[in-house]
Structure 1
């Protein structure tokens, strides 16, 4: 059985931070030493918490809900500030460079108050650089050189305690004062082709771990999500947040197995629902049932599973066996979630009936 009270607690901590911080603020402002005994939380009670609904329904609604736009904007501003500062430094060194925001924060599907900003730093290869001993300049060589320059610049800009480099070649910067973090991802592109398509820049990300380039289009992902979400009453973003929250609430051993499915791939799985997203916004249980059925369909249909691709690059998601295993675990998790919420809607019912979910509206 799913412990929805525990899940509501962890959901609130993701959305608003731990209760202990509220206690400290209360003590500082009131002088009452035993803040916990005083029963003061300090965190805002959101609308889904105030509903007279069972805990499972509250969790479902809260897991689909966006983070406060004020917190989101602050995280975006930090990403833009960090990106602009790095670009300015690189340009002073003679580099042609730009940046853009990417990932769940830029798509407004993140699930944490203090969200990580994904900043893609793009080194631009000009036509003058595309000649080396009468042969086309190697994009891989340019990418390697750009990454080394970027690492050197980052080490000079930030304290070593706040900066770490991952195996793939990206850098993680954490602002201790603001308690926000920024993931800096190096990428390269040919300058004259940077904005040739309607979706904007197609870039190549350098994966240091396996030493190869991964082609993607960050802006394409953002625009596709925006268009489909607007078409289906905001349901695409609701589903993506639900996927992220359900994964975040899994036990460690399950999350470890699901780590092979990247955030962009989970977003793309939600996007592949297409017309199944056409559900009235007040019918959250019905939308959950559609997600459960869609994951089941992907597991059952080899042909459809092969067609599911990553939105920012077109690469197949389920090209490795470990990703199919992860999909099976995600399907089972949503089966259990749907069954648990169904029991709250129709207690004592022996058989699971999707029609009951589709006819349950929470306003």
Structure 2
């Protein structure tokens, strides 16, 4: 795939699909077409592609993601309340982190039951009152899931509501401007949360309807850790996350089957461990690609010996915890290395890598 094609794919991802453009035709607040700053640079296609892959999606497009999630969740919560179930909602995933790469990104909405569980023994200053109704949390979660399926099908008849997923209800089409995933869950107050009272320490228990059980998740700790490190390095962590995700999206067909095993969560987690290698002035963004290339080669060498040691930012598991994810990381490394070599050849044609790298690291581009 040449870089004019890659650049075209990038632009298409970052735009609204034609169907949604028509839906917003009379909405003056929604840009129908955007002239991206990277696209008007007097630079080669490979440079535009690398820099464009690092940029956040148009702010208004991101706002619509939240608006659609709020609209669906609000209708659902109101109807659940009428049926005796109180609930809240929060957003998780790439959109609240602003590392999504599509103009019409999918939206993950946690639908959180008002009842909760907590870690025992509790902190000395905390007091929790067990329910006297004798209804288990699993029973409550099952009811939340079943009622949510029924309500969403009733309230959004033109929308395709897929209830086959064990962990979420997927919604698409009809009046929706974004694909929405509703994830039934409840809070579990860990001891860390009981002491800090900060959402990053609050565990989310997600309901699996096929197994009739819940499992722990820490989406807000993940968001907190990524945001904190991104601030330290002036936005470079999120640039790298978007870059890696775009390179994955444009990967050669021979590597797609391996890359499917590496999620957005995994990619952000790997980028998080670049840490000090993210330290680079914003106008030397091209140099970040070289840093990413070196990092990925290092963690994937010797059958991912180093990569196998890295934990996710929330500390919940090893990132490359199975052979499938390791193969995905290796495939992504090959894709990155290909783009890196093409960029070196573009900036310093005919020169060896050492000299080319110096050009790459000192080549300012202002967006």
Q: TM-score over 0.5 for the alignment?
A: yes
Does residue 361 of structure 1 match 2:360?
no
Note if contact 1:194-1:203 (Cα within 8 Å) is conserved in structure 2: no
Which residue does 1:152 correspond to in 2?
150
Displacement of 1:179: 3.2
Partners of 1:354 and 1:209 in 2: CA distance:
52
Aligned to 1:279: 280
Of 331, 334, 358, the residue aligned with 1:332 is: 334
Matched with 1:4 is 3
Task: Specify the alignment match of 1:114 in structure 2.
Answer: 104
- Give distance in 2, aligned partners of 1:308 and 1:286: 24
Q: Secondary structure at the match of 2:187?
A: strand
Q: Quote the residue 1:58 is aligned against.
A: 48
CA distance in 1, matches of 2:217, 2:342: 39
CA separation of 1:288/1:209 partners in 2, compared to 1, >3 Å: closer, same or farther? farther
Distance 1:140 1:22 in 2: 42
Q: How far apart are the structure 2 equivalents of 1:304 and 1:176?
A: 46
Q: What do residues 70-108 of structure 1 show as CA deviations (whole Å, max 9, x unaligned)?
A: 111121111122122222222222223211011111111
Bigger mean CA offset, 113-122 vs 208-217: 208-217
Deviations 1:269-315 (A, max 9, x none): 11111111111111122101111111112112756423322334622
CA distances 1:218-264 after superposition (whole Å, capped 9, x unpaired): 22222222221111111111111111111111244523321222221
Provide the secondary structure at the position in 1 that maps to 2:34.
coil
Other-structure match for 2:29: none
Match of 1:16 in 2: 15
Aligned to 2:322: 320
- Specify which of 15, 37, 45 is matched with residue 35 of structure 2: 45
Question: Structure 1 residue aligned with 2:186, among 185, 188, 211?
Answer: 188
Structure 2 partner of 1:172: 170
Within 5 Å, which residues of 2 pair with 1:288-327? Answer: 288-300=289-301, 304-312=306-314, 314-327=316-329
Q: Using a 3 Å threshold, how does the CA distance of structure 1 residues 139 and 271 change in structure 2: closer, same or farther?
A: farther
Which residue of structure 2 aligns with residue 37 of structure 1?
A: none
Residue 209 to residue 278, structure 1, CA distance change in 2 (3 Å): farther
**Superposed CA RMSD:** 3.1
Greater displacement, 286-295 / 348-357: 348-357
5+ residue gaps, structure 1: 27-41
Equivalent residue for 1:202?
203
Q: 1 CA distance for matches of 2:231 and 2:330?
A: 29
Deviation at 1:47, TM superposition (A): 1.6
Q: In 1, are the aligned partners of 2:57 and 2:100 still within 8 Å (CA)?
A: yes
- 2-structure distance, mates of 1:125, 1:270: 36
The corresponding residue for 1:234 is: 235
Q: Which runs of 5+ in 2 are unaligned?
A: 26-31, 117-128
Contact 1:194/1:202 (<8 A) preserved: no
Question: Would the aligned equivalents of 1:215 and 1:313 in 2 still touch at CA under 8 Å?
Answer: no
Given the alignment of the two structures, is residue 347 of structure 1 paired with residue 349 of structure 2, yes or no? Answer: yes
CA contact (8 A) 2:241 2:268 kept: yes
Decide whether the 8 Å contact of 1:124 with 1:191 is kept in 2: no
Indicate the larger mover: 166-175 or 240-249: 166-175
Check conservation: 2:86, 2:114, Cα contact below 8 A. Answer: yes
Q: Deviations over 1:161-196 (max 9, x none)?
A: 421235333112225345322111121234798963
Aligned length: 344
Q: After TM superposition, what 4+ stretches of structure 1 lie above 6 angstroms from structure 2?
A: 19-23, 191-194
How far did residue 17 of structure 1 move? 3.7
